[in-house]
Structure 1
Amino acid sequence: MSRHHFFMKATWTGGRNGTGTIDAGHLKSQISIPAVMDGPDVGTNPDEMLIGAAGTCYLITLAAIIERRRLPVIELSLETEGIVRADPKLVFEKIIHRPKLIVQTSAGEKELKSIKQATEQAEKTCMISNALRGNVELEVEASIQFQQA
């Protein structure tokens, strides 16, 4: 069994409304509490990083499934939404992945079914989704459109 280690260094100045920095290899950013939570809104925040991690893991997993199945997907994009509830403490309630797949018009019914299944399977097999499952509701709302190749 192999293990992969990932590291982050962080700094912080001030109290709740302070600011900081993170450095996690290719991810370098200023950080603070977002404006919607009455923070200074400098750089990114944990909520954006969580949906960023969940979204990129989902997208890469979906791309790998599509490639492995040799599905006729021309273009793949994703929007991910995170919903945080405040009552009275903050709870990261839900993540919704909205993949948009542009598919060749020649795709048959069997291929379309496999593409739809791939959008669901990616959420079930993504490492980040699996780390969140049971604590955060996870949802997929896929859009499949046709385009002449």
Structure 2
Amino acid sequence: MARHEFRLTADWNGGRNGEGTITAGNLQTKISIPSEMKGPGIGTNPDEMLIGAAATCYLITLAAMLERKSIPVVSLTLETVGVVSVNKNGLQFESVTHYPHVVLGAEATAKHRKDAESFTEAAEKSCMISNALRGNVDLSVQATVNRES
């Protein structure tokens, strides 16, 4: 069985309202608590990184599925929304919803469109980040698939 290790190093200066840096492969950025949670809002934060991981995994998985079936894609874009709620136990990552928009080429058939629509759901179930979150965070997809006119 093949295994892959990914490593991250981090430095932090200060207390709750401090700031830090992280480095992991090609990712190098400042971090802090987001301003929405009464932090300094410098760089990125765990919430953005979680939806970033979920979104990029989903998008890459969807693109690979579409390519494998030779579906003529002109444009593939994504918006992902993560919702954090405050409850009696503190902060809880409640949900992640992906809003992919797939534009197919004019040559796309009805089968291409049906397959593309099906892959928007299948990609969420195949993505390893989604699978790591499943059971702890509500995951959903609301896709739009159009054909170029």
Alignment TM class, shorter chain as reference:
over 0.9
Residues 99-138 of structure 1 aligned to structure 2 (within 5 Å): 99-138=100-139
1:4 matched to 2:1: no
| Residue ranges of structure 1 left out of the alignment (5+ in a row) | none
SS of 1:64's partner is helix
The share of aligned pairs that are identical, in percent, is 55
SS across alignment from 1:77: strand
Residue-by-residue CA offset, 1:83-136 (whole Å, 9 max, x unaligned) = 000124100000011111111233222221111000000000001000000001
Q: C-alpha separation between the residues in 2 aligned to 1:38 and 1:74?
A: 41
Q: Distance in 1 between matches of 2:3 and 2:109?
A: 41
| TM-score for both structures, normalised by structure 1 | 0.96
Normalising by structure 2, what TM-score?
A: 0.96
Give 4+ residue runs of structure 1 displaced > 4 Å after superposition.
none
2:67 is matched with 67
Aligned to 1:79: 79
**How many angstroms does 1:144 deviate by?**
1.3
Segments of 5+ residues of structure 2 without an aligned counterpart are none
Q: Deviations over 1:62-89 (max 9, x none)?
A: 0000000111221111111100001241
